[in-house]
Chains A and B, each alone.
Chain A
């Protein structure tokens, strides 16, 4: 996948470029707004990562100009402005997602891949399979090693998100957003509590270790045997 990063901070550039390159993506960078707009309009990208505060041309103005050309390229806004209204502003200007600096690369990767997959026309999935864990999306039936799991709606949503990103560290923020329609940092263990309940149901079948806690980062669903 081809990604454009419009960012002026060298440390962030290095961090993001290294991460995406390691994941096998092709990433190009622009260090100011003008260059960014030029590249974004002249080349074809699968995703644009856009800093909000850029020299010469503000990120939101760049985005507005890009959208004015009819470009549908997904744009993920990176910003040091964390307020809810800033987020709303960014999304209104045509951004597809919004991330606050500082961020963990793992979370950026999940968000970026989600946006890039959106562009690909995939047949609607009817089920998810991760190791011996199976989920039927229509009937909402979940089986683990052949045994059916009785999940509550929130647990189902959490597990679905984890199954969509197997072996990836998923931050609490991502899980929170996936399950609830409220964007705020709850500063509490609400996700941990739900994961714990889910894990207890896994443990009853002897697969408690499938959902792994990654300290300081989030949770990971391991691809079982």
Chain B
């Protein structure tokens, strides 16, 4: 996968996921750093406060002792002081008494303090003490306390904080890198598949994982677009085949007819020519229907909008189709109620509706009862013929689909596609329903 990543030109560190990672880890570092700094300061303050309180308490104690005890008792107290709580050094007139063998110079008077190092014989040879001088009636007393343990603690804390910070940065960056690489891998996969599609492998689909994340949603959408495209392509392919078939047959008849023309007697000639012209007209009509269907479907044909009444449209429809039904020994009835005025291309809509009625007359069979029912904004064309099986209902509006596989019935096979396209341009809904028996075509504007 890595080679594909590099081959496609985009490297993980160039990806947006990586940029987000960088920003994210910088933010995390900043937040954690600020928190640690705050804690560090708090600790330092706390330490100072404790040291000062401790020293102040010791100071008060020794001042008190100097006042109440005599000199030797005071010396004993100084010597007996627990070095863990405080280191006390008293400079008596002769020498230093206490825990330390010296009093550093420049020690300030308490409560001011100063840090100073001392050497001991123990394992940790160098210690840092904090302390100051107190004047008693027996002379200056140095009161100091060890702070280096606390300092060590703080040092450790700082070290730990820095380590944690570094780990955070490294971890977020590493995870981010892997994350962006994973995203890129999917993108590269998509890229790869889209190249396959570009090359003509239209059945290729993007993988959709169980994660249902935004990539899967995108892939799902993309797959649906591909489904539509593939269907359209198949439809076009099918249509091309059908056109070839539809035109080849009359064209080959024409050819045969023309070849036979010279052998016709002058008496038969006009009839023979007329037949050929009829065949040619049929081819031309198929062409025209194809063209106007494409134009209406693709919106190239501008609609001639005008106001008209649905009731009047249905009445015209009835008037035109009545004689046709009659000649097929069918009955055609018209029922209208709640007239609706609408705006649209009256002629195109009439053509579409006429097509539907014409189909009912053609396919419902002799003696059938056909109804045109207009109620409000709905027009239904009902018949009690054989109807259309449910599984075929979706197909009838496709281009050049004829449910009669022999393609025996005259017609271009485009009528219903044209109906669908015209109605779609008028935002009308078409529904095919069962009339048990028969078919109901319902159109709602």
Contacts and interface: CB of A to CB of B under 8 A. Distances in A.
A216 B278 contact: yes
Contact of A187 (B285, B295, B320, B324): B285
A215 interface: yes
Given A83-B291, A84-B292, A190 B324 contact: yes
Given A214-B274, A215-B275, A182 B323 contact: no
A83 B358 CA distance: 21
A184 B347 contact: yes
A15 interface: no
A216 B274 contact: yes
B301 A216 contact: no
A82 B292 contact: yes
B348 A154 contact: no
Main SS at interface, chain B: helix
Interface string A172-207: 000000001111111111100110110000000000
A70 interface: no
A102 interface: yes
B398 to A, nearest CB: 18
A84 B349 CA distance: 13
B19 to A, nearest CB: 53
Nearest to A194: B323
B354 interface: yes
Contact of B301 (A85, A181, A196): A85
8 contacts: A83-B291, A85-B301, A154-B319, A185-B285, A190-B323, A215-B271, A216-B273, A216-B278
Contact of A84 (B316, B347, B358): B347
B351 A182 contact: yes
A182 B350 contact: yes
Interface string A115-155: 00000000000000000000000000000000000000010
Contacts of A184: 347, 350-351
Contact of B323 (A154, A181, A183, A217): A154
Contacts of A88: 304
Interface in B264-289: 271, 273-278, 281, 284-285, 288-289
Contacts of A82: 288, 291-292
Considering residues A187, A189, A215, which has the most beta carbons from chain B within 10 angstroms of its beta carbon? A187
Given A83-B301, A193-B323, 5 more contacts: A88-B304, A184-B347, A188-B324, A190-B323, A197-B323
B276 A83 contact: no
B260 interface: no
A183 B292 CA distance: 14
B347 A182 contact: yes
A190 B320 contact: yes
Contacts of A189: 324, 327
B302 interface: yes
A103 to B, nearest CB: 10
B412 interface: yes
